[in-house]
Amino acid sequence: MAAERNHKKEYAARRTYLKRYRRNHREEDKHRTRARRSLKCGKGKEVDHIDNNPKNNNRKNLKCVSRKTNRRKGAKKTNSKR
């Protein structure tokens, strides 16, 4: 029979992992939030960076697109590297 899981230990490990992840990615979150605030996209829309650089938050580089379109663009980018 398999050993029983220690859920408290697993949740504690996940909590420390998430804290560390958020601390390490704070700068990226700042850029993402700033871009989202500056455009005020409607419901179901996301901010798209035209040049694919998330740190370039100039108004000329940002546009509102649907989530599906934004995901499709990301998929094209990653699949083209293969």
pLDDT digits over 28-48, tens only? 777 777 767 777 887 888 888
Q: Are strands 45-49 and 62-66 parallel, antiparallel or unpaired?
A: antiparallel
Q: Model-level pTM greater than 0.75?
A: no
* Residue type at 53 in one-letter notation: N
**Which sign does the torsion angle of CA 52, 57, 61, 63 carry?**
positive
Average pLDDT of span 6-17: 94
Please report, to the nearest 10 degrees, the dihedral formed by the alpha carbons of residues 22, 41, 50, 27 taken in order.
-20
Contact assessment for residue 29 and residue 57, using Cβ atoms and an 8 Å cutoff:
no
Contact assessment for residue 57 and residue 32, using Cβ atoms and an 8 Å cutoff:
no
